[in-house]
A and B are shown apart, each in its own frame.
Chain A
Amino acid sequence: MDIIKEFYSGFSIMNQEVSLVLVLVFVLLADLFCGEKGKKYLQLLAIAAFALNVVYGFTLKVDSTYQDSFAGMYVTSDMHILVKNILNVGTLLVFFFAHYWNEHENRSQSGEFYFLMLSTLLGMYLMISSGNFLLFYIGLETASIPMAAMVAFNKKAHESAEAAAKYILTAAFSSGVMLFGISLIYGTYGTLYYNEAANAFLAEPLQIMAMIFFMAGMGFKISLVPFHLWTADTYQGAPTPVTAYLSVMSKGAAVFSFLYILITVFRNYAETWQNILWWIIVVTITVGNLFAIRQKNLKRFLAFSSISQAGYILLGVIAGTPQGMAATVFYIFIYLFTNLAAFGIISNIENQTGKVGMDDYNGLYSTNPKLAVIMMLAMFSLGGIPFFAGFFSKFFIFLAATQKEMYLLVFIALLNTIISLFYYLLVVKAMFIKESTNPIKPIKSDAMSVIGLAICTIGMIVLGFISPIYEYMSSISFGI
């Protein structure tokens, strides 16, 4: 009897997951039972329901700094909740941007769209707050399998199918590799619980090898070089809302859980994984930038830029300190608004004109000043230029890295910002400076994306100046 009570009491700290599941089920049922004419309300319902969930998420707080249930299978803390809330916000924004697309190109399966996306979100929740490799694995797959379905969403298109195939194959492959690593971890540590594993530490090569296999699996999700090659193709092929979701949400969730596992399970190998990450970061940032320069398709362009951004994010991870964690989460938070703003513009224009080439954007300012300005803000923010939020997040993440005396690494990263600034400015140049013979016609964006863009813009501009956010993060962050 006690066992049962304890079992159920385990759910008591899983509020977010539970509420999300509720929304999930609601959407599913609504999708089932609303007829053809109900479809048009379905989206609004789904978004509203999820919005409620988002709001609810912000009310949550754990009374102690760290709680777990199911014997440490599930872990949570203020930081976990915060990260989930951030993901919630991102997802909501993606919904806003996806609305138009669902309305016109994807009428029939809009329900499935929301359902799948929410389930991936659920997977990410589990991945983030897992205290055990089993739950972690389940969360990971829950996050990635529906994602594959979503990448394949518009069935007519070649590249969508190709992208999906590449994604699912690489995902399966990488999860195989990661599982191999996990199995070795199990073999060497003798446990799958993070906190126990942390103590069962014997400096033997097999453990290091296991760690590296595991890191490879994570590297696939965060798309670090050399595990990044799928990224560009999938981003380009997938429907733009899905790409946005991939580029921010799954990346953010993966980064956080990666950081969490590194500083708990592999705490004693800090030396090793810091050296490894040092090189991975350098390669990632550089390759991402170099490949981004030559891109003409904006979605592909942003894919590579997001690769290099992932490198920057890891600068916070490599420190492994509380400050590092705060900087990382802050960076993800800012990056979410910035990148989603860019994708919002792109999807907006793609939906209405079908143009994604950089040359199509020539002279955008003359026809669509608002969109152009927001895009410019996003580019500047990605490039890390004040006053936009990107500057602050970059500054803090570099600060976190230098805390560990990694001046050389930071210097290389900074030199890379020059390259990145170069290609971000290329977009600005296209929109503002270049003239075009047939510029994009003036666009009347739909209400939802207007809301989304407004939120993103406000976020990009003001977030840097509102210090309490970062203060809060650093107050609840933890590290080695």
Chain B
Amino acid sequence: MMAIIFCINGEKKNLIRMVMAAGALAMLGTSVYLTLDFLAQREAGATAEFLYCNDPIPWYETLNINYSVGVDGISVAMLLLSTIVVTTGVFASWGLEKLTKEYFLWFLMLSLGVFGFFISIDLFTMFLFYEVALIPMYLLIGLWGTGRKEYSAMKLTLMLMGGSAFLMVGIFGIYYYSSMDGNLTFNILEIAKNHAMPIDKQMIFFPLTFVGFGVLGAMFPFHTWSPDGHASAPTAVSMLHAGVLMKLGGYGCFRIAMYLMPEAADQLAWIFIILTGTSVVYGAFSACVQNDLKYINAYSSVSHCGLVLFALLMMNKTAMTGAILQMVSHGLMTALFFALIGMIYGRTHTRDIREMGGLMKIMPVLGVCYVIAGMASLGLPGLSGFVAEMTVFVGAFEHSDLFHRFFVIAGCTSIVITAVYILRVVGKVLFGPVQDKHHEQLTDACWYEKVAAFGLIIAIAGIGLAPLWLSNMISDGIMNMLK
């Protein structure tokens, strides 16, 4: 894919776009097929924890590094999410004129890293793809971004790299305690099977790993890259970043930190429950007073992703299923948000909600899409947000002690606050009289923007209306992990 783009002469922008679109759609098709086939196999009673596992291709034998991939319910869901977001992202950045070729190359590298991360079973490859996914952000933001782009790009990259510094130590620790009998391995499944790490070591390496991924998961207090980064990133990049990349954090916390070091996870959960619970409420509150659309959504992402980690830490089937659902739903709706914001910004050239108003009259399609996104984000039934949040809350309520109760109820309050800031934006930007006379001759969405927006909305509504298959698929994966 990258190769194709690379071969094309940079002048032929449209050709590149075509190829991108074709490739993205191909990916989407593949993942949909994968999902269907996966479900079919589960129906057929394939009980293996991971399906489609290739037989590990040895890479560095001496260190026992293999290239081994496979998917379970969770990664299938994640792949589906990623492909949807990537495809719509391509359409959302259709109108990009500056250095199109390079842009799409980096974009592809980003998505490549994401896919690789989700399918790999080997810690080394997983980490490799993780970093692959991180670095393109710098140039994508720095080159095609807006505002204080250089500052934000640098900050984002460095903070995430800091996270991966924690993470790397954790991975080394896991590696050296990966088996009782000397033959160390990077293969997650084997490590989980051997389960050789003594508890006192877990107490050291679990926090490192969890924080390492938590940084990417925008966990309080390591979230500050997110507002600036998102604010200056170009549309499709913030879509992909908030939509998919932040999910790498949650996925990693789950697949590596908690799955491989369960005892420590059990004992140290309370610390991180405090942190994540804080970020749920904290993000929501600070979103209420922002005036930049992207900042508002960045903070709401902080809040929602906080909910993901929060639910993961509850460590029971329902809550964890809810967490993954929340990842998917947040991925979709935040991508939709950023896409729409990008489109609006592209027209009004401002993101300050005080300077906008009455856009619903001017660009009804975008307006309606925005309202739908908002409704999804404040958890309206029939859209994906509700499904996820309810699952999370019901699951989180399993813990009957006061500590958990307190944070769960705090989490519940966040849905009200979400309503507050979403309606604030809708009321100020879409409704009300037109603030700026120049806005009145602005056009509505053009075809590729419609494709992007509608694609995401269909996905959101689809999950919201018929969530059962997805949640079953995920919870099946969860059950395998919890075993």
Indicate if A touches B (C-beta under 8 A). Answer: yes
- Residues of B that sit less than 8 Å from A by CB: 59-63, 65, 124, 128-129, 131-132, 135, 138-139, 142-143, 149-150, 154, 157-158, 161-162, 165-166, 168-169, 172-173, 175-176, 204
Complex Cα spacing A386 to B165, Å:
14
Contact B165–A425 (Cβ < 8 Å): no
Contact B150–A398 (Cβ < 8 Å): no
Contact B62–A433 (Cβ < 8 Å): no
Known pairs A414-B169, A418-B161; A396 contacts B63 (CB<8 A): yes
Query: B172 to chain A: closest CB distance in Å?
Result: 4
Contact B172–A398 (Cβ < 8 Å): yes
Complex Cα spacing A478 to B59, Å:
22
- Specify the chain A residue showing the minimal Cβ separation from B139: A432
Query: A415 to chain B: closest CB distance in Å?
Result: 6
Residues of A within 8 A of B139 (CB): 428, 432-433
What are 13 contact pairs spanning A and B, CB under 8 A?
A: A385-B131, A398-B168, A399-B175, A411-B165, A414-B165, A414-B169, A421-B157, A421-B161, A432-B142, A433-B142, A433-B150, A467-B60, A471-B62
Q: What mask results when residues 452 to 480 of chain A are scored 1 for a CB within 8 Å of chain B, else 0?
A: 00000000000000010011001100000
Complex Cα spacing A189 to B262, Å:
53
Complex Cα spacing A291 to B46, Å:
58
Complex Cα spacing A403 to B178, Å:
13
Instruction: Name the interface residues of A372-419: CB closer than 8 Å to any CB of B.
Output: 380, 385-387, 391, 395-396, 398-399, 402-403, 407, 410-411, 414-415, 417-418
Residues of B within 8 A of A395 (CB): 124, 168
Query: A411 to chain B: closest CB distance in Å?
Result: 5
Cβ 8 A contact of A429, one of B65, B150, B166, B176: B150
Q: Does A422 contact B (CB under 8 A)?
A: yes
Instruction: Name the interface residues of A184-203: CB closer than 8 Å to any CB of B.
Output: none
Sample of 9 further A-B pairs with CB below 8 A, known A391-B128, A407-B172, A467-B65: A395-B124, A398-B172, A402-B173, A402-B175, A403-B176, A411-B169, A417-B165, A425-B138, A471-B60
Complex Cα spacing A386 to B172, Å:
17
Contact B61–A410 (Cβ < 8 Å): no
Q: What mask results when residues 13 to 57 of chain A are scored 1 for a CB within 8 Å of chain B, else 0?
A: 000000000000000000000000000000000000000000000
Contact B61–A471 (Cβ < 8 Å): yes
Most chain B CB within a 10 A radius of its CB, from A323, A386, A422: A386
Complex Cα spacing A475 to B162, Å:
34
Query: B196 to chain A: closest CB distance in Å?
Result: 16
Instruction: Name the interface residues of A431-445: CB closer than 8 Å to any CB of B.
Output: 432-433
Query: A410 to chain B: closest CB distance in Å?
Result: 6
Query: A59 to chain B: closest CB distance in Å?
Result: 25
Residues of A within 8 A of B157 (CB): 421, 425
Complex Cα spacing A403 to B128, Å:
20
Known pairs A421-B157, A428-B139, A433-B143; A402 contacts B162 (CB<8 A): no
Contact B165–A418 (Cβ < 8 Å): yes
Residues of B within 8 A of A421 (CB): 157-158, 161
- Ranked nearest first, the 4 interchain pairs of A and B with the lowest CB-CB distance are A414-B165, A402-B172, A433-B142, A474-B62
Do most interface residues of chain B lie in helix, strand or loop, or is the interface mixed? helix
Complex Cα spacing A368 to B424, Å:
49
- Specify the chain B residue showing the minimal Cβ separation from A380: B135
- Specify the chain B residue showing the minimal Cβ separation from A419: B158
Contact A415–B142 (Cβ < 8 Å): no
Complex Cα spacing A475 to B60, Å:
12
Query: A306 to chain B: closest CB distance in Å?
Result: 21
Query: B324 to chain A: closest CB distance in Å?
Result: 26
- Specify the chain B residue showing the minimal Cβ separation from A396: B63
Query: B279 to chain A: closest CB distance in Å?
Result: 23
Contact A399–B63 (Cβ < 8 Å): yes
Q: What mask results when residues 317 to 356 of chain A are scored 1 for a CB within 8 Å of chain B, else 0?
A: 0000001001000000000000000000000000000000
Cβ 8 A contact of B158, one of A387, A396, A411, A418: A418
Contact B172–A387 (Cβ < 8 Å): no
Contact B169–A407 (Cβ < 8 Å): yes
Residues of B within 8 A of A433 (CB): 139, 142-143, 149-150
Residues of A within 8 A of B172 (CB): 398-399, 402, 407, 410
Contact B135–A385 (Cβ < 8 Å): yes
Contact B59–A407 (Cβ < 8 Å): no
Known pairs A422-B154, A471-B61, A471-B62; A417 contacts B142 (CB<8 A): no
Cβ 8 A contact of B169, one of A410, A470, A474, A475: A410
Query: A406 to chain B: closest CB distance in Å?
Result: 10
Residues of B within 8 A of A403 (CB): 176
Most chain A CB within a 10 A radius of its CB, from B139, B142, B161, B169: B161
Complex Cα spacing A399 to B178, Å:
14
Contact B62–A429 (Cβ < 8 Å): no
Most chain A CB within a 10 A radius of its CB, from B138, B154, B173: B138
Complex Cα spacing A91 to B408, Å:
65
Query: B447 to chain A: closest CB distance in Å?
Result: 32
- Specify the chain B residue showing the minimal Cβ separation from A406: B172
Contact A422–B61 (Cβ < 8 Å): no
- Specify the chain A residue showing the minimal Cβ separation from B134: A385
Residues of B within 8 A of A428 (CB): 138-139
Residues of B within 8 A of A429 (CB): 142, 150, 154
Most chain B CB within a 10 A radius of its CB, from A380, A417, A425, A428: A425
Query: B68 to chain A: closest CB distance in Å?
Result: 14
Most chain B CB within a 10 A radius of its CB, from A395, A421, A432: A395
Contact A402–B176 (Cβ < 8 Å): yes
Known pairs A398-B168, A467-B59; A407 contacts B173 (CB<8 A): yes
Complex Cα spacing A225 to B386, Å:
58
Q: What mask results when residues 283 to 298 of chain A are scored 1 for a CB within 8 Å of chain B, else 0?
A: 0000000000000000
Complex Cα spacing A380 to B61, Å:
26
Query: B166 to chain A: closest CB distance in Å?
Result: 8
Complex Cα spacing A470 to B124, Å:
16
Complex Cα spacing A402 to B205, Å:
13
Residues of B within 8 A of A411 (CB): 165-166, 169
Complex Cα spacing A417 to B168, Å:
12
Most chain A CB within a 10 A radius of its CB, from B60, B142, B158, B168: B168
Residues of A within 8 A of B59 (CB): 467
- Specify the chain A residue showing the minimal Cβ separation from B169: A411
Residues of A within 8 A of B162 (CB): 415, 418
- Specify the chain B residue showing the minimal Cβ separation from A405: B176
Complex Cα spacing A411 to B59, Å:
26
- Specify the chain A residue showing the minimal Cβ separation from B164: A414
Query: A464 to chain B: closest CB distance in Å?
Result: 9
